[in-house]
């Protein structure tokens, strides 16, 4: 069961809810996301109903709405917390006029009392619920502070802190709601209805009712409602909502399109390939929501610190209330009041907020620009990256390899060599195989259906065609099979030295020919390599291609160190070696062939994964688009997030420390403690964190 919780505006709220719901019979697991206002409950079938969860939350002063229901409008008159805060403020103002201008006790005492009751409504409900569950939180501290202020007849102080705390909670709720909306707005890119062609007629249906195989019609200027494949038409499609790339992509028959992207000037007929809940935008939102589970190291540290900080300060507050009177004969009322101020200051809200709000703000900002972090853990690791290891093909290069030349041997024609090569490569998913297949199709060559297909990872393929075994692969692959290449060694050397990849075609009985294949570097790759070096990050390239090919690409891009001819297990060893030599290592690959190396690295980054389900899950960070410059953005975002987190933690601790020191000479009052120590510093932390959602980070 998944729910959205209304009124969950602090970390302590999340912890209380988790503890209370977990206590229900039949509940196996509870996951609460404070920053996203989400509650997920796993329970034994038939043991727990939605109403059971709702009753628990309502008893604690929280609201519950089903997942997907519209978010509560902060400024709506239906917002009860807004109404009680306004009422409390008006009554406080009436009480102040009655006390300091009219001097009439019959005016200000009832007004202050009514201000405390109205403004303290939610405080009392949540505080009593916490007391019943033996949980000490800010609401309990506020109840103690208000009751204490009333006992020492500081009625205006009691009413003031109730109103200010209610206002602080309201403003904090509004600020956090902005962060939550920045994530939910990702879903708003996808239209809620789709125009389908069914039984020869156009009809508009809800996107949740669209089935795989349906045909959607997308007219110029409309957003594409579904993930699918273009059946008919040609248009430019603006995909920045998914990939972060502002330049529109040309889409024609057979090309993949994504829900939420904006169609240009042409009409497209799109065959639906995924249900709405499985489309790319839905997956992005789901992964961002789940990212909170991978907590940043600083967040774990702050959580541990807060567990000790609060009880220590409360102990100091209690000692301040009574020890000066008992030991030094000081006035009880004066020091009791200062102890109450310390109780209010002891709330670690701003400190605990400092990291998660920053992390979610950065993650949601990255997602809007096509960079998907799988959690705060990986966001912080990006700030520590000391070396980047690139795969070559499809990462530093365009990945669109083409057959440049065909050289037949011993009386075979180029067409015959290409036909056999394409027949052998027909079942392979390797990028070189795709290049061979595309060349064969462009020349209208029909493939032979072979049997006994075998793929040799990183080396080549073998297949039985017309009663003979033929291979297509690297020269080294043929040498390992004991095939004599001495007659063609000079030709192979010449082609590889020129930077081409050589694919040989033939069998153990005779060789048929070779193909040369090239893959050009991405236009932005050189800029990215130099950008990394400017940031003090080392750059290496790991590739399975031959040394001459690797050397040519490395020289063009300015990469000082590379390794060629690497199998997947070789890349794993290289990742370990470079990590020990330099420190935190980021591995960048296509997310499929490089999955082991991505998993082994401190941070694995898969790029160009918008349409690939496996690739989307492969890395710790995913670049939805094909622009490698997003890598620079992601490192800068990680460093900026680290800086903001440190600023927030330092600000929270320094303000709390300063207020605590100033309590003892009597400088800090209850309303100052609320206004500065709670409201002021919490808003400062949240607003500072929200900068991460807006900045472009074009500089380091």
Residues designated catalytic: 391
262: how many CB neighbours lie within 10 A of its CB?
18
Please state, in angstroms and rounded to a whole number, the distance separating the CA atoms of residues 146 and 118: 13
Name every residue whose Cβ is closer than 8 Å to that of residue 271 and which is 6 or more positions away in sequence: 213, 214, 215, 228, 229, 230, 231
Residue (of 229, 231, 237, 234) closest to 263 by Cα position: 237
Q: Do the Cβ atoms of 221 and 253 come closer than 8 Å? A: no
Q: Tokens 């989307």 map to which residue?
A: 616
Q: In what order do the strands lie in the sheet with 511-518?
A: 402-408, 511-518, 501-506, 468-473, 460-465, 451-456
Q: Do the Cβ atoms of 605 and 385 come closer than 8 Å? A: no
- 63: tokens are 């609201």
- 403: tokens are 């057959």
The beta-carbon contacts of 530-537 under 8 Å, at least 24 apart in sequence, are 530/558, 531/629, 531/632, 532/388, 532/631, 532/632, 532/635, 533/558, 534/700, 535/632, 535/635, 535/700, 536/386, 537/385, 537/386, 537/387, 537/388, 537/635
Please state, in angstroms and rounded to a whole number, the distance separating the CA atoms of residues 665 and 465: 93
Please state, in angstroms and rounded to a whole number, the distance separating the CA atoms of residues 164 and 363: 31
Q: Residue 69 belongs to what H/E stretch? A: none
Instruction: Sort strands 451-456 and 256-257 into parallel, antiparallel or unpaired.
Output: unpaired
Residue (of 380, 233, 402, 413) closest to 299 by Cα position: 380
């Amino acid at each position: 069961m998944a729910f959205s919780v209304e009124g969950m505006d602090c970390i302590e709220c999340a912890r209380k809810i988790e503890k209370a719901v977990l206590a229900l019979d039949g509940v196996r697991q509870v996951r609460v996301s404070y920053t996203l206002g989400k509650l997920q409950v796993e329970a034994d079938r038939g043991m727990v109903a939605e109403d059971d969860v709702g009753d628990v939350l309502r008893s604690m002063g929280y609201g519950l709405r089903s997942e997907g229901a519209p978010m509560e409008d902060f400024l709506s008159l239906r917002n009860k917390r807004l109404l009680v805060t306004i009422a409390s403020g008006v009554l406080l103002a009436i009480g102040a006029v009655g006390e300091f201008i009219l001097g009439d006790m019959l005016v200000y005492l009832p007004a202050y009392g009514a201000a405390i009751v109205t403004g303290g409504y939610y405080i009392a409900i949540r505080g009593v619920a916490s007391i019943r569950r033996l949980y000490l939180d800010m609401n309990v501290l506020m109840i103690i502070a208000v009751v204490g202020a009333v006992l020492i007849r500081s009625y205006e102080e009691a009413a003031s802190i109730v109103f200010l705390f209610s206002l602080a909670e309201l403003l904090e709720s509004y600020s956090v709601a902005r962060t939550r909306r920045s994530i939910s707005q990702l879903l708003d890119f996808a239209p809620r209805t789709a125009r389908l062609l069914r039984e020869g007629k156009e009809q508009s249906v809800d996107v949740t009712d669209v089935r795989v195989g349906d045909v959607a019609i997308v007219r110029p200027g409309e957003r594409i409602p579904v993930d699918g494949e273009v059946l008919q038409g040609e248009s430019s499609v603006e995909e920045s909502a998914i990939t972060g790339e502002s330049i529109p992509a040309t889409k024609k028959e057979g090309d993949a399109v994504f829900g939420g992207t904006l169609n240009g000037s042409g009409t497209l007929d799109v065959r639906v390939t995924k249900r709405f809940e499985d489309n790319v935008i839905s997956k992005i939102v789901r992964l961002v929501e789940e990212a909170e589970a991978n907590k940043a190291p600083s967040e774990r540290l702050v959580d541990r610190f807060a567990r000790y900080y609060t009880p220590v300060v409360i102990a100091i507050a209690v000692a301040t209330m009574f020890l000066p009177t008992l030991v030094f004969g000081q006035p009880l009322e004066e020091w009791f009041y200062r102890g109450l101020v310390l109780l209010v200051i002891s709330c670690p809200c701003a400190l605990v907020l400092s990291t998660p709000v920053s992390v979610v703000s950065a993650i949601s900002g990255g997602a809007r620009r096509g960079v998907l972090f799988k959690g705060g853990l990986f966001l912080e690791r990006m700030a520590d990256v000391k070396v980047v290891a690139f795969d070559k093909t499809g990462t530093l290069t365009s990945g669109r390899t083409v057959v440049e030349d065909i050289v037949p041997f011993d009386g075979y024609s180029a067409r015959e060599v290409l036909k056999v090569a394409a027949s052998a490569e027909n079942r392979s998913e390797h990028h070189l195989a795709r290049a061979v297949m595309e060349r064969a199709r462009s020349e209208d060559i029909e493939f032979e259906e072979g049997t006994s297909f075998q793929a040799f990872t990183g080396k080549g393929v073998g297949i039985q065609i017309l009663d003979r075994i033929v291979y297509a692969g690297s020269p080294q692959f043929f040498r390992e099979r004991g095939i004599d290449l001495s007659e063609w060694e000079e030709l192979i050397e010449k082609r590889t030295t020129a930077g081409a990849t050589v694919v040989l075609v033939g069998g153990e009985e005779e060789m048929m020919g070779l193909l040369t294949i090239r893959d050009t570097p991405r236009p932005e790759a050189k800029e990215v390599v130099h950008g990394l070096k400017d940031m003090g990050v080392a750059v290496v390239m790991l590739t399975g291609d031959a040394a001459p090919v690797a050397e040519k690409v490395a020289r063009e891009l300015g990469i000082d160190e590379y390794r060629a001819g690497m199998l997947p297990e070789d890349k794993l060893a290289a990742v370990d070696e470079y990590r020990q030599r330099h420190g935190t290592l980021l591995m960048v690959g296509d997310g499929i062939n490089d999955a082991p190396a991505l998993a082994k690295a401190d941070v694995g980054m898969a790029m160009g994964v918008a349409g690939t389900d496996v690739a989307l899950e492969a890395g710790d960070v995913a670049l939805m688009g094909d622009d490698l410059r997003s890598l620079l953005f992601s490192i800068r975002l990680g460093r900026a997030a680290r800086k903001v987190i440190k600023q927030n933690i330092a600000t929270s601790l320094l303000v709390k420390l300063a207020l605590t020191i100033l309590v003892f000479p009597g400088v800090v009052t209850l309303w100052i403690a609320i206004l500065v120590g709670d409201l002021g510093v919490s808003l400062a932390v949240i607003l500072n964190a929200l900068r991460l959602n807006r900045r472009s980070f074009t500089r380091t």
